[in-house]
Chains A and B, each alone.
Chain A
Amino acid sequence: MTDNIIEVKNLTKIYNEGNILAVDNISFEIQKGEIFALLGPNGAGKTTTISMLATLLTPTEGEATVNTFNIRKDSKSVRKSIGIVFQEPSLDSDMKGRENLELHAILYGMPKKERRDKINEVLKLVNLEDKADLYVKNYSGGMKRRLEIARGLIHEPEVLFLDEPTLGLDPQTRRKIWEKIKGLNQLNITILLTTHYMEEADELADRICIMDHGKIIAMDTSENLKKKLSGDIIDLEFEKIENRIEFPQIFPEIMKIEGVRNISLGDSKNNQETMPMNINLPANMPNINPEMIQARMREIMSDPKKLLNAWKKFPMATQMFLDAPLEAKKQIAKLFDDNLLEQVPDSIKTELIKIKKGDYSEEDTDFEPKISISCEDGGKQLPLIIQKINKNNMKIKNVNMHRPTLEDVFLFFTGDAIREESSNRIKNIKKFIQMRQLRK
């Protein structure tokens, strides 16, 4: 026997209507007593996952157990083991609060004697004792949510499913609901919640599972994810830079600063189109000697064959050549005779021929780069970063520091995916829209 209360294995859901892959082969386990959050944007497949676990939808493929009961074979036992609070309200607003709870207790087969005590108990738990005899239609949004949570607890479930528990609530009410959820967890109730609020998952969950396009992108304890996600993002815009071949040399130096995790480069003049030049250095190789990189670059730049190789393999190298200062380009052009020129990729070839002929206009070389630095404790590190940059004789035009938004986080985790599938992006957007329409 394991301590896992929920085990999900290769769960997949395809909606026949519109042929939409809502959940794509996901697997995870939830331990007893844990708060587990499914975090993701709208249409990521969170609600579909919860609906399958609650046996409201049949999975297309894969298996899952809730409280050791199989969701395909033993839906009745699964349903008795869970309490569920739906994303949309599901109260009977023409009845009183207490009546809603009583109805639920009967649905779950509670004997009459137990019923009254339990209802009073859960009402106390969500502080609704004095409002219990009002009609639900007179409740505020937060009260309704609390009543629904209370309702989900009446039959003493092992797991409580909360689908977007604070959607559309004001910050104060949200915080109150968070307190309630934490309190429930202390009563040893396992909680599976979905949310698209970063802070909510951060605040509540022991482990967070980030979903997007029906897939699990990242899953870890709140602490570990925080290390990757939290911190600040510093955007730096530079004045025009002459020597662009030396510009990337500041990267390794900035990376050396404590807390800096990721630098991405973008030209502030041409925006996102050239953004994919991310330099993501893996966390496990922190000490790159900048001199080593420079030496390596010099080595490559002196050997036409190595250059050819680099251009063919890495689109980034091509971009670097095109962005390189005229001096460097002239040097490179000297290396290529007519024979070698035949092997050069087209975009570079035209540039090289231009330089050889000598009709190269200086205007094209304007280079005003913009970099984004993801950095822990940014306020403290920013002066250091600026110092390093000043040492390299580069002028900063604009500095902007902000906490990572949910978007930054998703870019962080889906960065690779975006680059790989950039041509598929429009397709993905269409898929999103379809999903949303389907739900409605």
Chain B
Amino acid sequence: MVKINILPKDLNYNVVWMLVRREIVAFWRSKARVITSIAQGFLFLFIFSAGFAKFPIVIDGKVIESTSYVASGICAMAILFMGIFGGLGLMRDRLFGFMKELMASPVSRRTLMFGKTFGVAIQTVIQSVIFLIVSIIFGFFSLDIGMIWRVLTIIPIALLASIGVVGLGLIISTRLRDFQSFGLIQTFIVMPMFWLSGALMPVNAMDEWMQIAMRFNPYTYTVDLFRMVLLGVSLYPIWLDLLVMTSFGLVMILIGAWSFNKMEINQ
């Protein structure tokens, strides 16, 4: 039995907080990044909601407006994209040398990994909430008082979801040696996770083999929980969604801590 200790003694919380702050400050300072990430979401939002407008979407006997359906999926998708690519930002630190400064310090590698994960995850949550609010303003969701609570509920869920995907991005970037591999990640990890998550199309409308594939995608459950909160419809029970998301996050953190320990300095 592998000893699982998520919060070991050698974790330096000051440093974790400092790394979180660094990510958020960096995000805030680069306005281009803020604008691109939100604009990209909207591109998807407008195109897909326009395309799907003619199909009635029925889940559990409820008829859902296709625009809201797609909008909630895109919101979950935004977390996936921003999270993984935020995690890949570690590559930048590695290639431009700043990682050396971190790794030569007396702080444990796990601390660095935690700081980086939470930093990028919080940054991702901020982006997705901004995105959600803007799409509410644009009328993609029905506007009522309950929406405020829904948005507030989304925040912890988004955080849980992003820890998993940011961890995934970080793990990949401890192994990558150049920026050229980004396309590979996009094609073989991000896109399949996106298309097989039911973010755009209802899972139960797919072929059976596709449904099975989707069931094995951890991100399907994130999308499902997002719908549950935002639209009140879901395919799987809430506990299953939460269970899958939590275990995905935990596994990613554990593997991440391991691969941070393995990460080489000179490369």
Indicate with 1 or 0, residue by residue over A241-273, a CB within 8 angstroms of chain B CB atoms.
000000000000000000000000000000000
The answer to whether A89 touches B97 (Cβ under 8 A) is yes
Q: A86: CB under 8 A from chain B?
A: yes
Contacts of B40 in A (CB 8 A): none
Which residues on B sit within 8 Å (CB–CB) of A88? Answer: 97, 100
A56 touches B265 (CB 8 A): yes
| A108 with B106: CB separation less than 8 A | yes
Identify which of B12, B29, B265 contacts A51 (C-beta below 8 A): B265
With both chains docked as a complex, state the minimum distance between the C-beta of A125 and any C-beta of chain B, in angstroms: 19
A57-B265, A86-B97, A104-B101 given; A94·B107 CB < 8 A: no
Looking at B14-22, B56-64, B71-79, B237-245, the stretch in contact with chain A turns out to be B14-22
Given A106-B14, A107-B15, A109-B14, CB of A86 within 8 Å of CB of B100 = yes
Q: Which chain B positions have C-beta within 8 A of A439?
A: 266
Cα–Cα distance between A104 and B101 once the two chains are bound (Å): 8
B265: chain A residues within 8 A (beta carbon): 51, 56-57
Most buried by A among B93, B96, B102, B105: B105
Query: B266 touching A90 by the CB < 8 A rule?
Result: no
* Complex interface bits, A195-212 against B, C-beta within 8 A gives 1, otherwise 0: 000000000000000000
A79 with B97: CB separation less than 8 A: no
Contact residue among A54, A80, A84, A94 (Cβ-Cβ distance under 8 Å from B30):
A94
Q: Which of A257-295 contact B (CB under 8 A)?
A: none
State in angstroms the CA–CA spacing of A80 and B105 once bound together.
Answer: 7
Closest B-chain residue to A92, C-beta based?
B98
A90, B29: Cβ atoms under 8 Å? no
Q: Is the CB of A103 within 8 A of B22?
A: yes
Chain A minimum-CB-distance residue to B265: A56
Q: Is the CB of B26 within 8 A of A84?
A: no
A90 in contact with B105 (CB, 8 Å): no
Shortest Cβ distance from residue A106 to the other chain B in the assembled complex, whole angstroms: 5
- Contact A56 B103, CB 8 Å, known A91-B97, A91-B98, A439-B266: yes
Q: Does A93 belong to the interface (CB within 8 Å)?
A: yes
- Asked if B18 and A103 make an inter-chain contact with CB atoms under 8 angstroms apart, the answer reads yes
Chain B residues contacting A56 (CB-CB under 8 Å) are: 103-104, 265-266
B15 and A90 form a contact (CB under 8 A): no
Chain B residues contacting A433 (CB-CB under 8 Å) are: none
> Closest residue to B30 on the A side, CB-wise?
A94
Flag whether A76 is at the interface (Cβ < 8 A). Answer: yes
B101 contacts A76, CB within 8 Å? no
The reply to whether A93 and B14 contact each other, CB–CB distance below 8 Å, is: no
Given contacts A88-B97, A439-B266, contact A94 B29 (CB under 8 A): yes
Q: Report the minimal beta-carbon distance from A67 to chain B, rounded to whole angstroms.
A: 13
Closest to B22 in A: A103
| A95 cross-chain contacts in B, Cβ below 8 A | 22, 25-26
Complex contacts, A108 vs chain B, CB 8 Å: 105-106
Cα A72 to Cα B22 in complex, Å, equals 31
B 88-146 contacts with A by CB, 8 A: 93, 96-107
- In the assembled complex, the Cα of A76 lies from the Cα of B107 at a distance in Å of 8
Q: B102: which A residues are within 8 A, CB to CB?
A: 107
Q: How far is the CA of A298 from the CA of B104 in the complex (A)?
A: 67
Q: In the complex, what residues of B have CB within 8 A of residue A107's CB?
A: 15, 18, 101-102, 105-107
A370-422: which have CB < 8 Å to B?
none
**Which residue of chain A lies nearest to B97 when distances are taken between CB atoms in the complex?**
A90
A107 to B112, CA, bound (A): 10
Would B97 and A80 count as touching, CB distance under 8 A? no
Q: Considering only CB atoms, which chain A residue lies closest to B29 in the complex?
A: A94
What are 27 A-B residue pairs whose CB atoms fall within 8 Å in the complex?
A: A51-B265, A54-B104, A56-B103, A56-B104, A56-B266, A57-B266, A77-B106, A79-B106, A80-B106, A86-B101, A88-B97, A89-B96, A90-B97, A90-B98, A90-B100, A91-B97, A91-B98, A92-B93, A92-B101, A95-B25, A95-B26, A104-B101, A104-B105, A106-B15, A107-B107, A109-B106, A151-B101
> Which are the 6 A-B pairs with shortest beta-carbon distances?
A90-B97, A107-B105, A79-B106, A90-B100, A90-B101, A106-B18
Given A89-B97, A107-B107; 14 other pairs, CB 8 A cutoff: A54-B104, A76-B106, A77-B106, A79-B104, A80-B106, A90-B100, A92-B93, A92-B101, A95-B22, A104-B105, A107-B15, A107-B18, A107-B101, A108-B105
Which residues of B come within 8 Å of A, CB atoms?
12, 14-15, 18, 22, 25-26, 29-30, 93, 96-107, 265-266
